[in-house]
Amino acid sequence: MFIITAIFLEMMAIIDNVREKDVPSALPLMQTNEHSICKMSEQNIIRGYAQINVAIDYCIEQNLLMPALILIYSAIDSISWAASENRSVRIRFLTWVNKWMLKKYPLPCTAIELYAARCGIIHTLTPNSDLSENEGVRRISYAWSTAKQKDLEEAINLLKYPGIVGVHINDLSFSFRNGLYDFIDALEKDKKRRELFTQKAGKHFANLEPSIMSEFLVSTKKDGG
């Protein structure tokens, strides 16, 4: 399997479709019209998020804490980018989390606390970030597996340890997953959001079977491409 940029796959399709009609198509599922290319880009990005959710579930089941958190926070980064125009990472992250996660699937923490946790986990694999160190944003500690969030929160309160909030990893995953599903469903009803998403989707990776790549290379060389 190859994983290539969607624009690279589009170029392959264009080359493939300008050949003589009697030349077998190396990319039979691809068309050069705008609608089909946009549709395939959307399918690629949605498939990518579905695979990420499968990986998150696997990591949680196997008690792989750091990989699960990295996947969740990076996926929020990605979908918030796909959902926004030219905004800063922080603004688009907060906007998406507030609208699609916390509004309907609340957590004990705030959007800015999730963003701070994202910075710590992705950059240093710690709960610490500039926001927690310099701006007093609470750090997130996580309950895992059969552990209960309320027990973690009670322990934090008993210790009178400031600046920490407890979140269960299952609740975080649930909030993200369902927020993502709601966002994708909403694309059908919002033309402007759909157009923006489609534009961003065209920049994502696409999967390509080795057999299709081989057919493309053989037919292109044969045609003098």
Upper half-sphere CA count for residue 13 (Cβ side, 13 Å): 19
Is 65 a domain residue?
A: yes
> If you search the block for the tokens 């493939």, which residue do you land on?
16
> If you search the block for the tokens 């008993």, which residue do you land on?
158
Is 187 a domain residue?
A: yes
- Asked whether residue 8 carries a pLDDT value surpassing 70, the answer given is no
The dihedral through the CA atoms of 10, 11, 14, 17 has a sign that is negative
Residue range 32-51: mean pLDDT, rounded? 68
Amino acid at 89: V
Is 54 a domain residue?
A: yes
- Kindly indicate the confidence band of residue 160, based on its pLDDT and cuts at 50, 70 and 90: confident
Is 217 a domain residue?
A: yes
- Kindly indicate the confidence band of residue 81, based on its pLDDT and cuts at 50, 70 and 90: very high
Token pair for 216: 């493309």
Residue range 170-198: mean pLDDT, rounded? 93
Is 124 a domain residue?
A: no
Is 22 a domain residue?
A: yes
Is 218 a domain residue?
A: yes
Q: Is the pTM of this model over 0.75?
A: yes
- CA atoms of 193 and 186, how far apart (whole Å): 9
**In angstroms, what CA-CA distances link 4 with 28, 43, 203, 214?**
18, 15, 10, 15
Token pair for 198: 């489609």
Residue range 47-54: mean pLDDT, rounded? 93
2-5 vs 205-208, strand pairing mode:
antiparallel
Residue 136 backbone class (left: φ over 0; alpha: ψ -120 to 50; beta: rest): left
Q: Which of 41-55, 80-94, 188-202 has the highest mean pLDDT?
A: 80-94
Residue range 57-70: mean pLDDT, rounded? 96
Is 137 a domain residue?
A: no
Per the document, the length of the chain is 225
What percent of the chain is modeled with pLDDT above 90?
59
pLDDT digits (tens, 9 = 90+) for 119-133: 999 999 999 999 999
Lowest mean pLDDT among 20-29, 125-134, 213-222: 20-29
- CA atoms of 56 and 50, how far apart (whole Å): 10
What domain count does the chain have? 1
Residue range 197-222: mean pLDDT, rounded? 75
- CA atoms of 91 and 78, how far apart (whole Å): 13
Give the residue numbers spanning the domain of 192: 2-106+170-222
Token pair for 8: 């690279």
Those residues whose C-beta lies under 8 Å from the C-beta of residue 165, and which sit 6 or more positions away, are 108, 109, 113, 138, 139, 140, 141, 153, 156
- CA atoms of 72 and 107, how far apart (whole Å): 14
Q: Which of 4-13, 38-47, 67-76, 210-219 has the highest mean pLDDT?
A: 67-76
